[in-house]
Structures are given as structure tokens and as C-alpha cells.
């Protein structure tokens, strides 16, 4: 009798497990045969079109890693190019399976979507033209009100700058490209920008720019999924964890070096942390 009951329970659990897997996002993607990813196309080094018109960047590499985890083939992927404002709506309406688009994690957004583990830590930094009289952050800070800092126009732009340089003059511009042009032309002593963008520019033009060596306003970048599917979220988190600290670390490190010019230290061997 006990054996019969045990067998019945085991059969029931197997049936329930199979039904749950078949009805979830993970199984739907596997059945479809490719992953659908929402991302952008105009923000290097995260997502942009290269000279050949191919979509590239850190976000693209992260998405391809997930496709590889799903199918053993990183090419089994469809990218939906979307605006920043479309990141959450496209998830909620099932237009994409996942969004990988340098999305900052906030408590408010976490009420609307499920965030994966972070794959990048962003912050604000200062880009200086090589050969400038201000060699680093300490020199900019010491110069006080003599320093002019270019930044993208925003209601909080001056506050952002003054958190790092309380006395600096703030020059606001309508487009990101113009803040770098101001540095190039000598109209600004430094540009306040995302540290990832600064790392990208320095890696691309090491004889032209230097990083001030100081960053502030930390924030986390994660991929986002529609809420309510823990199996799918767990799978993506497993892929990202192995990218950053496991069997696929070499690929993640190569991507990090390519886009940010930074060589990562291999994960500690032994106790996982």
C-alpha cells in the first residue's frame, strides 16, 4: 500500500512539473527556437550599430550569452530595437522575452518587472582631454570655481556635478555628443558622463582622453523580465552568474575588455562569493 501511494505521488509530481515547464516562458522560448530580446541601438558601448550596420555592444553580448545558454547557439536570437520608454511596456505586452538595455534597477521599476542579477555597475565620472592643465579629479576639485564641467541637460544636472565638484561652473548641453565636443574645443575642462561611456571613449582614443579617476552616483544595470515566471528568471540568473564567475567567465571578461578597456581579475577559486 505504501509503495502504491509513493508511486502515485511521484507520478502526480512529475505530471505537475511537466505541465508547469510546458506552460512557462522558458519552455515557450525553447519551443519557438529563438530568443526575442528588446534593446537599443544608439548608446555605445552598450548597444549600437557598428560601421557595417551590425548591432553590437555589452548588452548585445549579454543577450547572446543567454541565447547560447538556451540553445547552445548565440545566433538563435531576434533583437527588437526599442526606445528607453518602451522597455517596460514591451515586456508587459509580451513583445519581447527579455530586455537587455542598460536598464537601471530601481524599487519603483521592480514593482513592474522582474530584474535579473546586475551585470554592470554604472556611475557618473569625469572625462578629461589628454594634455589638459587638470590631470585628474584632485586637480579639478582644487581649482574650485575656475573649472567648467559639461553635462547633458537635465533638471538634476547641476546637482550631479556639484556632488563631486561643489564650486564648479556647470555647462549644460542638449545632446551627449556636444559635451565631448566642448571638451575637445577647450570650452569645458571636463565632461560629466556615465563611467561606461568614459571607459569606452578612453579605450577608443587613449591618446586623446583620460578618466579623472573618480566616480559617484552608483547604479546597477540588469536585464528585465515580465513578472510572474520564477523558472525563467532563475534560468537567466544562472546564465549571468556563470558569465561573471563561472564556466563562461572568459567570454564575459573578453566582452568587458573589448567595450570598457578593463581586464577583469578571474574569480576566486575555492569558496564561492
Does residue 266 belong to any structural domain of this protein?
no
Give the cell for residue 264: 577583469
Does residue 267 belong to any structural domain of this protein?
no
Does residue 103 belong to any structural domain of this protein?
yes
56-91 residue pLDDT tens:
999 999 999 999 999 999 999 999 999 999 999 999
Q: Is the pLDDT of residue 142 over 80?
A: yes
- Quick one: 242 and 113 in the same domain? yes
Sign of CA dihedral 160, 214, 152, 121: negative
Selected residue with higher pLDDT from 14 and 78 = 78
Does residue 273 belong to any structural domain of this protein?
no
Specify the 3-state DSSP secondary structure of 187: coil
**pLDDT of 26:** 97
**pLDDT of 163:** 97
Q: What separation in angstroms does the CA of 226 have from each of 28, 58, 76, 97, 269?
A: 14, 22, 21, 8, 34
- Quick one: 232 and 112 in the same domain? yes
**pLDDT of 272:** 82
Residues 100 and 51: their CA atoms lie apart, in Å, by 22
* Cα-trace Rg, the chain: 23
- Quick one: 114 and 130 in the same domain? no
CB 149 within 8 A of CB 190: yes
* Domain boundaries, position 99: 2-121+220-260
- Quick one: 141 and 21 in the same domain? no
- Quick one: 179 and 139 in the same domain? yes
Look at the block and give the residue holding cell 551585470.
119
Does residue 270 belong to any structural domain of this protein?
no
**pLDDT of 23:** 67
Q: Say if pTM beats, i.e. exceeds, 0.75.
A: yes
What CATH number does the domain containing 9 carry?
A: 3.40.190.10
User: In the chain, what are the helix, strand and coil shares in percent, each to the nearest 5?
Assistant: 45, 25, 30
Side-chain-facing half-sphere of 74: CA atoms under 13 Å: 9
112-131 residue pLDDT tens:
999 999 999 999 999 999 99
**Strand (E) positions, the chain?**
35-39, 42-43, 47-49, 55-56, 77-81, 98-104, 113-115, 120-129, 148-152, 169-173, 190-194, 209-226
How many residues appear in the chain?
Answer: 273
- Quick one: 143 and 162 in the same domain? yes
- Quick one: 77 and 190 in the same domain? no
| Average pLDDT for 130-158 | 96
- Quick one: 98 and 230 in the same domain? yes
Does residue 174 belong to any structural domain of this protein?
yes
CB 100 within 8 A of CB 39: yes
- Quick one: 95 and 229 in the same domain? yes
Does residue 272 belong to any structural domain of this protein?
no
The domain total for the chain is 2
Residues 89 and 252: their CA atoms lie apart, in Å, by 29
| Average pLDDT for 227-243 | 97
- Quick one: 56 and 109 in the same domain? yes
| Average pLDDT for 200-219 | 95
Residues 157 and 176: their CA atoms lie apart, in Å, by 12
- Quick one: 209 and 240 in the same domain? no
Give the cell for residue 252: 564575459
Does residue 195 belong to any structural domain of this protein?
yes
- Quick one: 199 and 135 in the same domain? yes
Amino acid at each position: 500500500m505504501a509503495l502504491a501511494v509513493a508511486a502515485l505521488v511521484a507520478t502526480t509530481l512529475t505530471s505537475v512539473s511537466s505541465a508547469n515547464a510546458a506552460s512557462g516562458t522558458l519552455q515557450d522560448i525553447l519551443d519557438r527556437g529563438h530568443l526575442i530580446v528588446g534593446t537599443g541601438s544608439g548608446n555605445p558601448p552598450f548597444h549600437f550599430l557598428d560601421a557595417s550596420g551590425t548591432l553590437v555592444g555589452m548588452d548585445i553580448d549579454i543577450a547572446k550569452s543567454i541565447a547560447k545558454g538556451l540553445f547552445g547557439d548565440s545566433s538563435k536570437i531576434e533583437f527588437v530595437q526599442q526606445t528607453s520608454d518602451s522597455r517596460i511596456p514591451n515586456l508587459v505586452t509580451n513583445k519581447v522575452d527579455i530586455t537587455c538595455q542598460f536598464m537601471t534597477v530601481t524599487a519603483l521599476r521592480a514593482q513592474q518587472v522582474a530584474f535579473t542579477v546586475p551585470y554592470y555597475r554604472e556611475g557618473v565620472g569625469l572625462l578629461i582631454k589628454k594634455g589638459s592643465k587638470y590631470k585628474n579629479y584632485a586637480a579639478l576639485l582644487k581649482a574650485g570655481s575656475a573649472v567648467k564641467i559639461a553635462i547633458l541637460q537635465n533638471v538634476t544636472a547641476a546637482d550631479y556635478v556639484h556632488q563631486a565638484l561643489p564650486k564648479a561652473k556647470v555647462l549644460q548641453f542638449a545632446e551627449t555628443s556636444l559635451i565631448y565636443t566642448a571638451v575637445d574645443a577647450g570650452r569645458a575642462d571636463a565632461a560629466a558622463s556615465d563611467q561606461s561611456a568614459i571607459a569606452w571613449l578612453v579605450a577608443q582614443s587613449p591618446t586623446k582622453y583620460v578618466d579623472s579617476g573618480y566616480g559617484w552616483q552608483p547604479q546597477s544595470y540588469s536585464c528585465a523580465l515580465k513578472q510572474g515566471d520564477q523558472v525563467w528568471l532563475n534560468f537567466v540568473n544562472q546564465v549571468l552568474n556563470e558569465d561573471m564567475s563561472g564556466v563562461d567567465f572568459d567570454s564575459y571578461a573578453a566582452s568587458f575588455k573589448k567595450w570598457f578597456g578593463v581586464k577583469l581579475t578571474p574569480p576566486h577559486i575555492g569558496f564561492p562569493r
